[in-house]
């Protein structure tokens, strides 16, 4: 039986106790970009995980999501980690570093050192912190060259998690997201179904049996994973060139964006 000990108690992956409060920190992945909700606000895997946790908890489950798209690791550490420490929830998911890895010349060794320092701070007030690895980009031609850097960073994150007794949300090994249908048309963010698959895997990591398996086979769809040259050109015009332009201007998609749930507030499960 694996026991994770934090500032407010301990958690077992075999017989987990219901979690009463959860805070998500990170970038666009955790904000939920690519998974629009009915109210126009992005939902995403963290919101979906929060609903699963709320179903298991007694009345009064509380949830905060501090993630903001475009944030680099140091911005997350400066802006979100102190707030998460202040909220002191039982559970935090800490996904950060992906936007840094996309930058030329980024150093995964140095990133991991800064991540570990922030994790150590979080564990002074947070019960359990879930460490999130990066995705495998083998099936994404324009991002394939980043695989080595992502793998190096992931190796550090797993070692960090081992040193601090933290559970790991291993996205590299999640085979379901290797299907193109798991990704939004911008090829950088998950689709609604991709977010749902990640939420199911996160539930498994926390010892919760999800409604469906995260690796449930995709329905047959001939040609779904293939893209034509015309598709690639459209994607480059619509998404790649604007992204490069923002980098050159020193802008971020998250400029002027605020966290969607900055406080630990009650979260009600949908009516049946």
Q: Where do the domains of the chain lie, and which CATH numbers do they carry?
A: 3-214+259-266 (3.40.50.1110)
**What per-residue string of b and e applies to 27-49 under the rule 16 or more CB within 10 Å gives b?**
bbbbbbbbbeeeeeebbbbbbbb
pTM of the model: 0.86
Query: What's the token pair of residue 140?
Result: 């994404």
Q: Which phi and psi angles does 24 have, rounded to 5°?
A: -105, 135
Q: How confident is the model at residue 271 (pLDDT cuts 50, 70, 90)?
A: low
Q: Which of 156, 139, 231, 183 has the alpha carbon at shortest distance from 35?
A: 183
- Return the ∠ at Cα 139 (arms to 254 and 149), rounded to 5°: 65
CB 116 within 8 A of CB 192: no
Average pLDDT over residues 210-229: 76
What's the pLDDT at 39?
Answer: 82
Residue tagged 């108690």 (tokens): 9
Q: If 0-12 CB within 10 Å is exposed, 13-18 middle and 19+ buried, where does residue 58 land? A: exposed
Question: Has residue 249 got a pLDDT over 90?
Answer: no
pLDDT band, residue 188 (cuts 50/70/90)? confident
* Other C-beta atoms lying within 10 Å of the C-beta of residue 254: 19
**Mean pLDDT taken over the chain:** 86
- For 145, other C-beta atoms within 10 Å of its C-beta total 10
């Amino acid at each position: 039986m694996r026991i994770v000990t934090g500032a407010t108690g301990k958690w077992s992956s075999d017989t987990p106790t219901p979690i009463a409060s959860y805070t998500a920190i990170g970038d666009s992945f955790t904000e939920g970009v690519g998974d629009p909700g009915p109210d126009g606000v992005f939902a995403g895997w963290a919101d979906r995980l929060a609903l699963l946790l709320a179903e298991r908890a007694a009345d009064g489950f509380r949830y905060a999501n501090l993630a903001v798209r475009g944030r680099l690791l140091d911005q997350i550490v400066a802006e979100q980690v102190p707030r998460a420490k202040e909220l002191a929830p039982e559970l935090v998911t800490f996904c950060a570093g992906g936007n840094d890895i996309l930058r030329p010349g980024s150093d995964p060794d140095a990133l991991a050192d800064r991540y570990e320092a922030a994790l150590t701070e979080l564990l002074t007030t947070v019960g359990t912190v879930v460490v999130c690895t990066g995705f495998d980009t083998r099936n994404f031609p324009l991002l394939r060259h980043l695989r080595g850097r992502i793998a190096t960073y992931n190796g550090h994150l797993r070692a960090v998690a081992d040193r601090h007794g933290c559970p790991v949300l291993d996205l590299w090994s999640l085979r379901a997201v290797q299907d193109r249908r798991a990704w939004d048309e911008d090829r950088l963010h998950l689709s609604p179904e991709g977010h749902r698959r990640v939420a199911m895997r996160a539930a498994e990591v926390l010892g919760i049996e999800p409604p469906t398996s995260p690796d449930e086979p995709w329905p047959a769809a001939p040609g779904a994973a293939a893209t034509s040259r015309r598709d690639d050109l459209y994607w480059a015009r619509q998404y790649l060139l604007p992204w490069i332009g923002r980098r050159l201007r020193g802008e971020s998609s998250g400029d002027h964006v605020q966290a969607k749930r900055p406080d630990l507030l009650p979260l009600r499960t949908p009516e049946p």
